[in-house]
Structure 1
Amino acid sequence: MEKHMEDDVREDPVKRIGIIGVGEIGRAIVEGLRHAGGASPEIFLSPRGARTAAELSERYEGVQICADNQEVVDRSELVIIAVRRQGHHEALTGLKVDDDKIVVNLMAGVATDDLRRTLATGAPIVRAIPLPAVRERRSVTVTCPSHPVVDALFEQLGGALPVTDETAFNVFSALTGTLTAHYTYLATLTSWAAGHGIAPDAADRYVRSLFQNVGRSLGDGTRPLHQLAADHETPKGNNERIRTTWFDPANAAALTKALDGLLTDLQ
């Protein structure tokens, strides 16, 4: 059986981080690492996403743009790969990644074995799902498998949630696919209110306030989600009416079916 570098455990914090694919999540990671100042690793950015990379390198000391992806790898201890799933073979084929590097794969639906074949490396590969809120160090990041250096990195950015296998990891990955549906739900509420004569800016302000308060209640980890729902509902009240008439069994089944379909694709 081929032996990979997962067995080689580093204890020192990583000092040089490379990011290949500087999109929204790459930007958020850089901003999170530089959040509130203080010491942080050197960061090397690929030229992919040139405008964002240039902005970050101008704004932050110790953030540099490399000539190509190979230079990112060569100058880094830990390499974050955040390119699009559809073009990852083209972007990564031919890179030389030494076994003493650590690779963090942010590409949804790209399994570890697939990426290892593309890179032809024995380096440890860890999958992760950071969300944009890492820029404020407020997002829990799922990792697979647990690795002390990678978990420590994401602990700085809001917390790490290691899982043991890619089957579980893909379930968490599917959950992230519900984010924009939530924003669209809020936008639909705002449009409904505007359709009943409420000024759009007033409707927007109120819906934002309403659900920001819901978000704050989620910080109470002592109550499970079903209990939070019950605590915000009175028998035969307004909330119960909307929950039971709109979010009915058929609606719940449709959501489950959509998630199951996404999970199948991710696997």
Structure 2
Amino acid sequence: GLVGVGTIGSAVVRGLCSPGGPGPEVVLSPRGAAKAAALRAEFPALVTVAGSNQEVVDAVEFVIVAVLAKQAEEVLSALTFRPGQVVLSLIAALPVPRLKELVAPAGECSLGIPLPAVAKRQGASLLYPPQPAGQAIFDCLGTCLALADEAQFKRMLCCTALMGDFYKRQLTAQQWLEAHGADAGQAAAYIGALYATF
């Protein structure tokens, strides 16, 4: 189940439910209603949209939490988890010890950091601490690097910021071509293809 259907949560669901993926049944929260509806339309045999966040938690054994960091405390403290549930947070700013407090008495808790490329089952996701269910999910979505050392996890997490620099450079090159007379569509197509091969 997924609580919080934003960009990253949607990417995870797409990667899992697209042809060639494991095709699990997924229960989505109504948070991010437009994206939840789009995923339901795209994968009608696999995706259902619950009426509330609590309905998601009640329906599943494995809960992925992907709300904004500023909403995490409020959303999670309003939910009732049960023993044995596994919780995977995609909220980088929510420390695992605090996550465990908020979702008690749920069982295993981990922090996962996937990037949008998981929608195409590409790229690498970080997982701390290692957890079999979280690792199985991320292994299906590309490469999973499960780390037991929190300091090492945080250092690796810093490197995810390179994505912003990568896309900013791509946009800058495209805009430079356009400023020097290139057609916008051709500039975007060329720079996109060029960066895809780097």
TM-score by length of 1: 0.69
Structure 2 distance, partners of 1:147, 1:182, is: 30
Q: Could you say what secondary structure the match of 2:197 adopts?
A: helix
* Match 1:143 to one of 120, 127, 144: 127
Is 1:118 aligned to residue 102 of structure 2? Answer: yes
Q: Does residue 91 of structure 2 align to residue 107 of structure 1?
A: yes
C-alpha distance in 2, partners of 1:159/1:65?
Answer: 28
Cα shift at 1:129? 0.6
Distance change >3 Å, CA 20–CA 122, structure 1 → 2: closer
1:47 aligned to 2:30?
yes
Q: Does 1:26 align with 2:9?
A: yes
Q: Secondary structure at the match of 1:79?
A: strand
The answer to whether the 8 Å contact 1:129/1:142 transfers is yes
The total of aligned residue pairs comes to 197
Say which of 161, 167, 171 aligns to 1:187. 171
Matched, 1:35 2:18: yes
1:222 matched to which residue of 2? none
**What's the counterpart of residue 158 of structure 1?**
142
RMSD between superposed Cα atoms in Å? 1.7
Tell me the TM-score normalized by structure 2: 0.91
Rounded Cα–Cα distance in structure 1 between residues aligned with 2:147 and 2:186 = 43
Distance 2:10 2:56 in 1: 16
CA displacement 1:26-55 (0-9 Å, x = unmatched):
111111111215752211111111111122
Quick one: which amino acid aligns to residue 56 of structure 2?
V
2:197 aligned residue:
213
Cα 1:182–1:54, aligned 2, differ >3 Å: closer, same or farther? Answer: same
One-letter amino acid matched to 1:90: E
The Cα of 1:174 is off from its aligned counterpart by 2.0
2:40 counterpart residue number: 57
Q: In percent, how many aligned pairs have the same letter? A: 35
Describe the superposition over 1:209-254 as per-residue Cα deviations: whole angstroms up to 9, x where unpaired. 322221xxxxxxxxxxxxxxxxxxxxxxxxxxxxxxxxxxxxxxxx
Letter in 2 for 1:207: I
User: Structure 2: which 5+ runs fail to align?
Assistant: none
SS, match of residue 190 in structure 2: helix
1:55 & 1:193 partners in 2: Cα distance?
35
- Determine the C-alpha separation between the residues in 2 that align with 1:116 and 1:38: 29
State the distance in 1 between where 2:181 and 2:120 align.
37
Secondary structure of 1:141 counterpart: strand
SS of the residue 1:116 aligns to: helix
User: What letter matches 1:179 in structure 2?
Assistant: M
Partner SS, residue 80 of structure 1:
strand
The CA distance in 2 between the partners of 1:79 and 1:122, in whole Å, is 10
- 1:142 & 1:186 partners in 2: Cα distance? 25
Question: What amino acid does structure 2 have at the position aligned with 1:199?
Answer: D
> Relative to 1, partners in 2 of residues 1:37 and 1:198: Cα closer, same or farther, differing over 3 Å?
closer
Please give the alpha-carbon distance, in whole angstroms, between the structure 2 residues aligned to 1:128 and 1:38. 19
1:178 matched to 2:162:
yes
- Larger Rg, first or second structure (1 or 2): 1
Q: 2:81 pairs with 58, 81, 97, which one?
A: 97
